[in-house]
Amino acid sequence: MRSKLILLAMAAGLALTPITAHAVWGGELDGDRHPAVGLVYFDGDGDGVVSVFDGVCSLGYLGPSIDGSHDVVLTAGHCLPPPEENIPTELVFVSFDNNEDDEFPDTPIQVSGWEQMPGWGHNRGDLRDLGVFLLPSGSVSAAFPAAAESPVRLPAAGILDRLKADGELKFLTVDAVGYGVTPIWHEPGGVQFEFDPRRRTGQLTVTGLTRAYVLYNQNPNGIGTGAGVCYGDSGSPNLFAGTDVIISVTSGGSRNCNANNYNTRVDTEDAREFLGRFVSFD
């Protein structure tokens, strides 16, 4: 089940986001390597039905909440259902299926609610672009046991600043994992995007760090790895290569998905204060 969408159609579908949201291109099908990376679906077109084409953003399962009342899933703040749309929880689902059959998952989990990082979207230099979906307690282990057994993990406080100070951050490669579109740059009529809902993985190259963001190069002809993220990958965890430890959450970048990308840090004091309301840190 695949379809090609021109850039204008994709941009129109993302009109509610404050930045250009971003699927992993140039990589490969993920299979079962990252079982805790999933996809959220909700009824954004208002037809009262959630289908495979309602996949919105990627996300990562963090584990049970501190109080044991929920399972907690990390995503980007701009990936949450917009308040003005009044989308009920009954029409919002999370799945950790790799979707290699191109179909709507058999056992999606209906969400209980969601929370956006305070101050989201107010400051272009720091959009505070984090959010969480809250799922019923024990729902992930019941529907997706592999995800429950291998959740993604939050990093140590300030680890990226320390890596930068030690000269170990720039040109570091990280694992990107997500769902969504593949850009096609060289066909008549401008950039097109091929969509299927399957989980893919590739690598990104770190080029810089700000107070709020990790910067990545994903130009296929530049210093990058020949892979990148695009529409549908927003909210996905970027992982230290070969690990389940998050370095950042996919936030945004160029409209054509072939230039610099900036993703929200999760090791900052502000990020830890927000996420610490829901989960504990190692």
Domain segments of the chain as ranges: 16-22+34-151+269-275, 159-265
DSSP letters, 35-67, are TTEEEEEE-TT-SS---GGGEEEEEEEEEE-TT
Rounded CA separation 254/99 (Å):
26
For the domain spanning 159-265, the CATH number is 2.40.10.10
Please identify every stretch of the chain with a pLDDT value under 50, giving residue numbers as ranges. Answer: 1-23
Are the folds of 16-22+34-151+269-275 and 159-265 the same? yes
Given this model, what pLDDT does residue 99 score?
86
Given this model, what pLDDT does residue 169 score?
95
Looking from the CA of 247 toward its CB, the CA atoms found within 13 Å total 30
Residue 170 structure tokens: 């720039």
Question: Residue 149 class from Cβ within 10 Å (0-12 exposed, 13-18 middle, 19+ buried)?
Answer: exposed
For the domain spanning 16-22+34-151+269-275, the CATH number is 2.40.10.10
Given this model, what pLDDT does residue 220 score?
64
Rounded CA separation 145/30 (Å):
17
Given this model, what pLDDT does residue 247 score?
96
Is residue 117 within 8 A of residue 77, CB to CB? The reply is yes
Q: What is the pTM of this model?
A: 0.88
Name which of 200, 210, 260 is nearest 232 in CA terms.
200
3-class DSSP state of 270: helix
**Digit-coded pLDDT (tens) for 198-215:** 899 988 889 999 999 999
